[in-house]
Amino acid sequence: MHPQAPRQLVILTEGQFGPHSGKTAFGVIRYGRDEVVAVLDSTLAGRNVAEWIPGRDIPIVGTLGEALAVPGRPRPDTLLVGIAPTGGRLPDAWRPILHGALDAGLELHSGLHTLLEDDPELSAAAAIDGTRIVDYRRPPERFETAVGRRHGAGKRVILTVGTDCAIGKMSVALELRNAGRAAGDSVAFVPTGQTGMMIDGWGVAVDRVVSDFLNGTVEWLVEEGERLGDWVIVEGQGSLDHPAYSAVTLGLIHGATPHAMILVHRAGLAAHDFDHLPDRSFPIAPLGPFIDLHEQVAGLVAPSRVVGVAVNTSRCRDDTEARRAVAAIAAETGLPAADPVRFGAAAFWEQVKAGVEALPWVGGGR
Amino acid sequence: MHPQAPRQLVILTEGQFGPHSGKTAFGVIRYGRDEVVAVLDSTLAGRNVAEWIPGRDIPIVGTLGEALAVPGRPRPDTLLVGIAPTGGRLPDAWRPILHGALDAGLELHSGLHTLLEDDPELSAAAAIDGTRIVDYRRPPERFETAVGRRHGAGKRVILTVGTDCAIGKMSVALELRNAGRAAGDSVAFVPTGQTGMMIDGWGVAVDRVVSDFLNGTVEWLVEEGERLGDWVIVEGQGSLDHPAYSAVTLGLIHGATPHAMILVHRAGLAAHDFDHLPDRSFPIAPLGPFIDLHEQVAGLVAPSRVVGVAVNTSRCRDDTEARRAVAAIAAETGLPAADPVRFGAAAFWEQVKAGVEALPWVGGGR
């Protein structure tokens, strides 16, 4: 998917606004290039995104009509579906809202597994209304297995991995990209999920790719990323120990063959956010052995090292507790640690860079 | 895909008959329930499959017309595409043969990634000819992530894993299934690739499944397998260290959560059969550490142990050399080892069973 011009968005979250099931909305609001005119969520009508994300003055409205006429804001040109539910299906209750948006001439942007453009009713409505549907999760028409490509000379590839899904692998990659650019480095972000694509305007939702071509698609995406910068930060997905998503994670590790990895961890999280079976739980892995295992598994194809731990401290009550949590993880792992979302990524970026440059396999193509 | 009645096959391999790129043909001939009337391969016309697979008297013919009228054999009712090329695309040169088969009223069975039923010309021809196309690689209309299901009480699940792709993970699973049944045990085989499906008449080609649903599809397939037997032997795919296919392998490990694994290894193989880039090679992993790593990686979701090594001795000159290779691997790994394809699987099955029953996590559902 190729870059596109910034848009004016209304983000639909209907009953699911929040950092977890609404993580697409949060990501686009925090990091996107598009202007967010309003959030559409009748369960929170009258409130403001700033209550959740300080500094983001975006009204939450209860109807599409209100979203189309927010005082002092432009009329939106796009309705973006702002949830990422497990399995990625379209809730039936949202259909009337989507039809209303199309009838108002808005584009419909979605990252659901349910490809809205393939829905006969919605695509017919888009045609009649003279607008279009953009499915970020539509896989590329490219069916190639990995070939074992070497990285370009002088390129450094970093992949974010994690101890769970939905804990900030994309946010950490974006914070590092931003910090690197602020420091004058040539840094590219490689989006591998629908939210990252909505934010950066290109990429592939790799979890939608046919399994046989997963490693190969990631390999190709990284090649594209190398055209965009010398430091290539690849958005990770899932976790190597996740019962449902581990295959996607390994496809990223072996497809990207990163020189280095950054482990993203949520302080205080004891078990995977995976609640399908009430009588089961899957604990979060202990950091030290889990880091070793990532390096061993990555090393089956190309050597790689975890050079830092990005700590999600959103469960900490305040900055003091957050700093304590970060320090504890630095001590536990012997690695640079930081919460780049809460405290900024400038210093962490310098640590990561130094860690990567010190690796014996960095320098010269491999 | 549900079981179907045995058929009379002509297997198309056109220039690719052989144990590697024709592994689908070899698998169906060796293990299938269908009668193979002829192999269609103009580059080997006049020869006989028995030259490659002793005891299988199947003529190799040069034209479809000959295949339709082999003296002393029934007229085939199905043309089966018998190759599994990297990427799984249909060679253009085969189109006239496929049209000829449809025009002769044969069904077309294929395991290619290119779904033949979705090809407008071929599907139109099938409709006109009153026959049908069966694409084994068509993924099920099922889009569910894994839920962390426990195995049924009393069920034992075994997955074949390997040090490379295309070295016999399916054959070992089938030999063990056959040996188990011969010993009076209740054993099911779970096909996870197109050849296994053609042989056993059900299953899913999991490499065709959308990555997000890979672990979940395998989990569900194993549940189906548990309905068919107490011992459930799951066909593995790829290898954990394969640059192109490792994601599929991990989806099988974490989706199947096998109580035990059997490592399949090809004696004498130094590097992966992966020749995309002439200046690169990917060595076969040393067995001991690779076995440990499989157990660690599987254990991220559920405990598992490698309880035996199945050795592919097809590179050994004779039985003596093969026995020596098997003994060396048993000594190296400290595990039961055997070549179940060359020497039969009866004794190995008993060793595997004993190894599984001794595992602390076997017995009672988990």
pLDDT tens-digit series, residues A41-79:
999 999 999 999 999 999 999 999 999 999 999 999 999
Residues A294 and A336 in one domain: yes
- The answer to whether the CB atoms of B251 and A254 lie below 8 A apart is no
pTM over 0.90: yes
Structure tokens at A282: 């899957």
- Residue B86 is predicted with a pLDDT of 67
Query: What CATH code is carried by the domain that includes residue B85?
Result: 3.40.50.720
User: pLDDT band at A366, cuts 50/70/90?
Assistant: very low
**Which of A161, A204, A211 has the highest number of chain B CBs within 10 A, making it the mutation to test binding with B?**
A211
Residues B55 and B169 in one domain: no
- Residue B317 is predicted with a pLDDT of 96
- Residue B180 is predicted with a pLDDT of 98
Helices (H) and strands (E) in chain B, counts: 12, 12
Q: Is any Cβ of chain B less than 8 angstroms from the Cβ of A206? A: yes
Q: Containing domain of residue A251, as a range?
A: 156-357
* Residue A93 vs residue B255, higher pLDDT: B255
User: What is the rounded distance in angstroms from the CA atom of residue A232 to the CA atom of residue A335?
Assistant: 21
Structure tokens at A44: 């929170």
Q: Looking at the domain assignment, is residue B2 inside a domain?
A: no
| Residue B205, SS3 per DSSP | coil
pLDDT tens-digit series, residues B215-252:
999 999 999 999 999 999 999 999 999 999 999 999 99
Judge whether residue A164 has pLDDT over 50: yes
Residues B122 and B180 in one domain: no
Residues A114 and A240 in one domain: no
- The answer to whether the CB atoms of B212 and A208 lie below 8 A apart is yes
Distance (Å) from the alpha carbon of A251 to chain B's nearest alpha carbon:
5
CA-nearest of B183, B213, B229, B206 to B349 is B183
pLDDT tens-digit series, residues B272-305:
987 777 778 899 999 999 999 999 999 999 999 9
Residues A62 and A160 in one domain: no
Q: Looking at the domain assignment, is residue A218 inside a domain?
A: yes
Quickly list DSSP for A336-360. -EE-HHHH-SHHHHHHHHHHHHTST
CA-nearest of A151, A169, A183 to A353 is A183
Structure tokens at A216: 């190969």
Q: Which residues does chain B have within 8 Å of residue A293's beta carbon, measured at their own beta carbons?
A: 296-297, 300
Residues A340 and A282 in one domain: yes
Distance (Å) from the alpha carbon of A27 to chain B's nearest alpha carbon:
20
For chain B, the average pLDDT equals 94
Name the β-bridge partners of B160: B262
Residues B183 and B259 in one domain: yes
User: What is the rounded distance in angstroms from the CA atom of residue B14 to the CA atom of residue B16?
Assistant: 6
User: pLDDT band at A4, cuts 50/70/90?
Assistant: low
Q: Which residues does chain A have within 8 Å of residue B274's beta carbon, measured at their own beta carbons?
A: 148
Q: Looking at the domain assignment, is residue B147 inside a domain?
A: no
| Residue B236, SS3 per DSSP | coil
Judge whether residue B364 has pLDDT over 60: no
- The answer to whether the CB atoms of B148 and A241 lie below 8 A apart is no
User: What is the rounded distance in angstroms from the CA atom of residue A181 to the CA atom of residue B271?
Assistant: 41
- Residue A236 is predicted with a pLDDT of 98
Query: What CATH code is carried by the domain that includes residue B226?
Result: 3.40.50.300
Judge whether residue A276 has pLDDT over 90: no
Percent of chain A exceeding pLDDT 70 equals: 97
